[in-house]
Amino acid sequence: MRILNFEVIGGELAIRWAEGGETFVELERLRRHCPCAGCKGEMDVMGNLYKGPESRLTPDSFRLKGIQRVGGYALQPIWADGHASGLFSFEYLYSLGQGCGRDD
pTM equals 0.86
Average predicted confidence (pLDDT) for the chain: 91
Q: Per-residue pLDDT tens for 31-71?
A: 999 999 988 888 889 888 888 777 789 999 999 999 999 99
pLDDT for the residue 47 = 87
- Among residues 13, 14, 17, the alpha carbon closest in space to that of 4 is found at 17
pLDDT for the residue 103 = 42
May I ask the CATH class of domain 3-97? alpha beta
φ/ψ of residue 39, rounded to 5: -90, -45
Calculate mean pLDDT across residues 18-24: 94
Give CA separation, 69 vs 14, 35, 48, 55, 99, in Å: 14, 16, 31, 25, 24
